[in-house]
Amino acid sequence: MRKRAFIYTIVFLLSMCVVVIYHAYSYDLPKWFPLNKENSLEEWQEKIFQNKVVYSIKAIKGDGYLLAKSDSACSGLIYRIKFDVKKLPLMSWEWKVTQFPDKSNPSSAKTGWVEKDDYAARVYVIFPSWNFMNIKSIEYLWDEGLPEGTITTSPYFGNIKLIVAESGRKNMGKWIREERNIYEDYKKCFRGTPPPVGAIALMTDTDNTLSTAEASYKNIKVGYKNEN
């Protein structure tokens, strides 16, 4: 279960560092990540599990974005940040998918759901804990086949919930803006009151399907509420 080890590594490192992180840094909220400058990834950490997804900033005058290209690879970008979703529940971002993983790839001998756990675009919200079994995560997905609004559980870890925020090819190649109420999504996925967020992450992966995928991300904003 290679990807399980990858996810476990992320949450383990976060849980070990959480107190140091919280006391070492202060955050001005809301936090906005335009991802439009060449140094936009300086504060992000890359976790490589199987091969390396190529993450690159495409700086355009007055605009820009993060481009992710995966070729039989699994690696993600993590940004550690603390905010209370009870008070500041909203998160938004823009993403664009230009190629989906091929989940019918005949070159792969793996055919089960676990082996097809690859997605063109993922946005993670991670809730760390000193107790490993209490660490939780929500993954927002853009998947080719699963219906929008689907909520399911990761095949690797019961405390990772997957929410399909965008589905299908109708909007393929277009920038789509998402806005999520993390507090409400947490209650749907786990019930109870959510702990503070400890990190967000991005990933485009194709290590199980042994195929390729391409997606872009920009204008990520976390830690805010509607002022209306």
Give the residue-averaged pLDDT of 175-182: 98
pLDDT above 80 (res 161) = yes
93 touches 218 (CB < 8 A)? yes
pLDDT digits (tens, 9 = 90+) for 95-120: 999 999 998 855 444 455 556 789 99
Would you place residue 23 in the very low, low, confident or very high pLDDT band (cuts 50, 70, 90)? very low
Q: Round the average pLDDT of the chain to a whole number and report it.
A: 85
Whether omega before 30 lies within 30 degrees of 0, making that bond cis, reads yes
- Give the predicted TM-score (pTM) of the model: 0.88
Q: Where in the sequence is the domain holding 190, given as residue range(s)? A: 2-224
Q: Distance (Å, rounded) from C-alpha 216 to C-alpha 87?
A: 29
pLDDT above 60 (res 16) = no
Q: Distance (Å, rounded) from C-alpha 91 to C-alpha 79?
A: 14
Count up the domains in the chain and report the number. Answer: 1
pLDDT digits (tens, 9 = 90+) for 44-93: 999 888 899 999 999 887 789 999 999 999 899 999 899 999 999 999 99
pLDDT of 10: 58
Of 75, 55, 78, 77, the residue nearest 67 (C-alpha): 55
pLDDT of 227: 66
* Residue indicated by tokens 């509607």: 226
Domain containing 60 — which CATH number?
2.60.120.200
- Measured CA distances, 52 to 47, 73, 96, 216 (Å): 9, 6, 20, 16
pLDDT of 67: 98
99 touches 172 (CB < 8 A)? no
Q: Distance (Å, rounded) from C-alpha 184 to C-alpha 85?
A: 9
pLDDT of 92: 98
Of residues 61 and 8, the one with the higher pLDDT is 61
Residue 84 has, within 13 A of its CA and on its CB side, a CA count of 3
Which residues make beta-bridge pairs with 212? 71
Give the residue-averaged pLDDT of 171-187: 97
Q: Find how far residue 118's CA is from the centre of its chain.
A: 12
pLDDT of 65: 97
Backbone angles phi, psi at 46, to 5 degrees: -100, 130
Instruction: Look up residue 49 and give its DSSP letter.
Output: E
pLDDT of 112: 55
Looking at residue 134, its amino acid is: N
Give the residue-averaged pLDDT of 10-39: 66
Q: Distance (Å, rounded) from C-alpha 64 to C-alpha 49?
A: 27
pLDDT of 108: 47
For the chain, the C-alpha Rg in angstroms (whole number) is 17
pLDDT of 21: 46
If you count them, how many residues does the chain have? 228
94 touches 115 (CB < 8 A)? no
β-pairing, 197-203 with 74-83? antiparallel
